[in-house]
Amino acid sequence: MRFWKSWLIARKEFDFIRIKKSALGISFGLPIGLGVLLPLIIYFEVSRKKVPIEAITPLMGSFAFYFIIIAALIPIYTSVSSIVVEKIERSLEPLLATPTSDREILVGKYIATFTLAIVGTYIGAAIFVTLMDTVTHSSIGYFYFPNTAFDIALFAAAPAASIFSTAFGVLSSSRVTSIQSAQSLSVVPLLPLIILYLMGELDLINLNDATILAYVAIGLAVAAALVFQLSTAVFDREEILTRWK
């Protein structure tokens, strides 16, 4: 495993994403939009509806979970397209003909997808924290963000969710035989996160709780490690070259 080769491939992926507006929109537009929209909701609730701040703080806490979902959502598009686009444009064959191992190629794609997802997520989160504290500081009397639960969500669960989603995207795009199937399958990693979020909304679990978020982060990290191993093990260059439509 030569890391410089993976980095070379990652740099090419960055160059590709840089000119791809849809990828940039998903990677940065989505988290930045969320980072602006959520504080606006709180501002509206506190300033206009005069909802007591004590009733708002649980809602604010649960917003952290959105950033875990965003970190998992961004790679669905980028990880699938990084392999699918290579296949459609037939650039995968010359790439596979070079003395580069499957793992080096995949790690390069992981680096690009993960970096983009996490940078986008963190930019959105930074905007979110800044605006949220600006909106709520005078009512609460202290800066609500960052806090332990938010830190765990952002620095442990979000990266794990991103790797999990990236690995799943690579796994699905290298196993199925069409883009549509790859994209449909790649949504699967979002399902457990959405279920967790709904459970939080139904008060079945407390998504503001740092311990629960730590368990979520551990669960996602284990899933990410397993799917990563699986995706590199089943990446079959022959199948991609001969069976893709």
Closest CA to 180 of 108, 98, 88, 61: 88
Beta carbon nearer to another protein, 203 or 238: 238
Site map 199..238 versus another protein, x via CB under 8 A: --------------------------------------xx
Beta carbon nearer to another protein, 21 or 137: 21
Cα(243)–Cα(98) distance, rounded to whole angstroms? 20
Count of residues binding another protein (CB under 8 A)? Answer: 23
217 within 8 A of 152, measured Cβ to Cβ: yes
From the list 23, 68, 92, 127, which residue makes contact with another protein (rule: CB under 8 A)?
92
- Compute the least distance from the CB of residue 29 to another protein, in Å: 20
103 binds another protein (CB under 8 A): no
Cα(29)–Cα(188) distance, rounded to whole angstroms? 22
5 binds another protein (CB under 8 A): yes
Cα(70)–Cα(31) distance, rounded to whole angstroms? 7
Contact residues for 70 (Cβ-Cβ < 8 A; gap 6+): 30, 31, 34, 120, 121, 124, 158
Contact window for another protein (CB under 8 A) among 32-40, 90-98, 177-185, 204-212: 90-98
Beta carbon nearer to another protein, 24 or 96: 96
Beta carbon nearer to another protein, 100 or 115: 100
For the chain, the residue count is 245
Cα(43)–Cα(173) distance, rounded to whole angstroms? 42
Beta carbon nearer to another protein, 84 or 160: 84
100 binds another protein (CB under 8 A): yes
112 within 8 A of 120, measured Cβ to Cβ: no
